[in-house]
Structure 1
Amino acid sequence: MPSGLVALLDDISIIAKAAAASADDITVAASRAGAKTAGVVIDDAAVTPSYVTGLSPARELPIIWSITKGSFKNKLLILLPGALLLSEFLPGAIIFILMLGGGYLAYEGAEKVIEKLGGGKHGKTVDDVIENPEEFEKQRIAGAIRTDLILSAEIMAITLNEIELDVWWERGLALALVAILVTVAVYGAVAIIVKMDDVGLHLSKTSSVAAQRIGRGLVAFVPYLLIALSFIGTIAMLWVGGGILLHGTHELGFHALYDATHGLENAVQSTTGSFGGLLGWLTYAALSAILALVVGAIIAFVIHKVLKIGHAEEAH
């Protein structure tokens, strides 16, 4: 075989090995970053069913599909190019974007707590009389996509902050991989959740006694599931938002809150034996949520009482 061809094949082999290593690095980076975004993903999955709850069952999946398409557009066409430009030319801005997102999550979580405590709701919900269902559906889709943009920005910023890839296109592939997997997982889960009662209703009308029992169980279970998801979504917003604010203040040079929180976490962890890891983490999560509740309540007060701005109609 001519030496030139041997050299060419050898070069191709080296390139292939390098590409395989890069693909492995991208997958590892994406999986590690994906784990860090778990709290925001839980929030996204918990919040989204509220946008179709109470609307016509026939419109549930089309609405979810519209929101899913909007989410893909948010992540891949808007946030991904922006994230790559920031990471390449202005990496120091990422922490400020994370802080803004953390403040938004704190505000949204505090709003839900205030409303539950009787502080009044802001914006039209499915509990109100809907005069124009088509227009209301459009508003809820638009609201869901706007909320998804904020949550997706947090996911992309967290991912960008976690991955350690020097080449811009590798960062881009890792971000795209996380974006696609998160979107499919979140809205696939949402579709299953909102159709569970329909499946249960169908099973309850079959001739099988076992299927009827399962169907009636599903129908009875779904309302409690939605309530639980709403509660989990609120906790997730406060926990994630507070954690981002704590980390952000630490990164910006204000260490008091971060050190005090982690100090208490370590104290609990070191004094509670075999449950130390779990209880320590719960302590940190609880303190993060309390911080977010305080910050979010202040933001809500300024927006509604000082600036007299009403909550957007897409409020959860």
Structure 2
Amino acid sequence: MAGTSLFVLLDDIASILDDVATMTKVATKKTAGVLGDDLALNAQQVSGVEADRELPVVWAVAKGSMVNKAILVPAALAISAFIPWLIVPLLMLGGAFLCFEGVEKLAHKYLHGKEDAEHRRKVVEAMTNPEADLVVLEKDKIRGAIRTDFILSAEIIVIALGVVSGMDFTTQVAVLISIAVMITTGVYGLVAAIVKLDDAGLYLRRQANAIARGTGATLLWLAPWLMRALSVLGTLAMFLVGGGILSHGLPPVHHLIASLTVDMEGVAGALVPSLLDGVFGLIAGAAVLLLVSLVKRLLPAKAQAAH
């Protein structure tokens, strides 16, 4: 009997682990919309930091990211256990935010051009001024990156929670912890590699070996293009994932997309629904951006009227 019980227990554990592995893969795919943007944003946060301080800064932000997820994962599990009806609204809110963030990125140059120019000017001044406190600049960058990570991590955890909301509590815990650990280590490991790509290129470029010099030149050419590609793919994935979340949460939109693609097969049948989700995400993001812009304009007007 004891041996039978042990085999039953092992079978249950194997079944749980199989569920965890499957759901973790699904949740990871669902959160892909945030990951490309997460990589690009965190790599950009290190710009302006001295070369020998880049990895310590990345490590400091990675530790902050783990603290963020140590807060967010229990909060998500508590929501799932005590107020599960809140998961869908949070998921829709996360999808809307993804779409808004994507449109905001596309319009960033026109909306925040002056602020970006002022920020770059301050960074250049701090880097060229021998009396500037670079420690303060570095700490400011770390705090800013951790704040950004908190928002992106919240999106990831909410999306992952939506994927596993129908599973038992043990599976939910295992999947969310797996997602949190894998994404943090994966994202910041890649960020560290990206920010050091140009250093590796410079090192190889100075070698006597012609192959090493050619490889170094290729890495130096590749680094900025890699950053741009991550940013573009991250933005595209925001619309695809965010639009998909919103369309599935809004039955009329979901049924419309399904009716438009019902006769499609093969590659078209697989791609067109996702592209339509992306178009809907773009429209939804533009609507949210317009709403946010109107609220920002009205609030100062109301404040002035009150005085």
TM category (shorter chain) comes to 0.7 to 0.9
Please report the TM-score for the alignment, with normalisation by the length of structure 1. Answer: 0.82
What is the aligned counterpart of 1:113 among 100, 106, 111?
Answer: 106
Match in the other structure for 1:127 = 120
**Are 2:287 and 1:302 equivalent residues in the alignment?**
no
The CA deviation at 1:91 is 0.9
Question: Whose helix proportion is higher, 1 or 2?
Answer: 2
Tell me the SS of whatever aligns to 1:127.
helix
**Are 2:255 and 1:259 equivalent residues in the alignment?**
yes
Match in the other structure for 2:12 = 18
Distance between the aligned counterparts of 1:234 and 1:97, measured in 2? 21
Distance between the aligned counterparts of 2:171 and 2:182, measured in 1? 17
The CA deviation at 1:304 is 3.8
Match in the other structure for 2:280 = 288
Structure 1 residues 12, 277: closer, same or farther in 2, change over 3 A?
same
Please report the TM-score for the alignment, with normalisation by the length of structure 2. Answer: 0.84
Structure 1 residues 126, 208: closer, same or farther in 2, change over 3 A?
farther
The CA deviation at 1:274 is 5.2
Q: Check whether the contact 1:201–1:219 (CA below 8 A) recurs between aligned residues.
A: yes
Distance between the aligned counterparts of 2:238 and 2:167, measured in 1? 31
Q: Check whether the contact 2:34–2:152 (CA below 8 A) recurs between aligned residues.
A: yes
Alignment RMSD (CA, Å) = 2.6
The CA deviation at 1:176 is 0.6
The CA deviation at 1:121 is 4.7
Amino acid corresponding to residue 8 of structure 2 in structure 1: I
Distance between the aligned counterparts of 1:154 and 1:182, measured in 2? 12
Distance between the aligned counterparts of 1:287 and 1:177, measured in 2? 31
- With 187-196 and 160-169 compared, the bigger mean Cα shift is at 160-169
Distance between the aligned counterparts of 2:158 and 2:30, measured in 1? 11
**Are 2:66 and 1:65 equivalent residues in the alignment?**
no
Structure 1 residues 286, 20: closer, same or farther in 2, change over 3 A?
closer
Q: Check whether the contact 1:115–1:121 (CA below 8 A) recurs between aligned residues.
A: no
Q: Check whether the contact 2:243–2:278 (CA below 8 A) recurs between aligned residues.
A: no
Q: Check whether the contact 2:207–2:213 (CA below 8 A) recurs between aligned residues.
A: yes
Amino acid corresponding to residue 92 of structure 1 in structure 2: W
1:238-290 superposed Cα distances (whole Å, 9 cap, x missing partner): 43333333333x2xxxx3333334444x16x72xx754135414532431342
Match in the other structure for 2:168 = 167
Specify every segment of 5 or more residues in structure 2 that has no aligned partner in the other structure, as ranges.
127-132, 302-307
Amino acid corresponding to residue 255 of structure 2 in structure 1: D
Tell me the SS of whatever aligns to 2:107.
helix
Identity of aligned residues (%): 35
Q: Check whether the contact 2:99–2:242 (CA below 8 A) recurs between aligned residues.
A: yes
Distance between the aligned counterparts of 2:119 and 2:112, measured in 1? 18
- With 27-36 and 90-99 compared, the bigger mean Cα shift is at 27-36
Q: Check whether the contact 1:261–1:284 (CA below 8 A) recurs between aligned residues.
A: yes
Q: Check whether the contact 1:109–1:234 (CA below 8 A) recurs between aligned residues.
A: yes
**Are 2:9 and 1:8 equivalent residues in the alignment?**
no
Specify every segment of 5 or more residues in structure 1 that has no aligned partner in the other structure, as ranges.
1-6, 310-316
Amino acid corresponding to residue 246 of structure 1 in structure 2: S
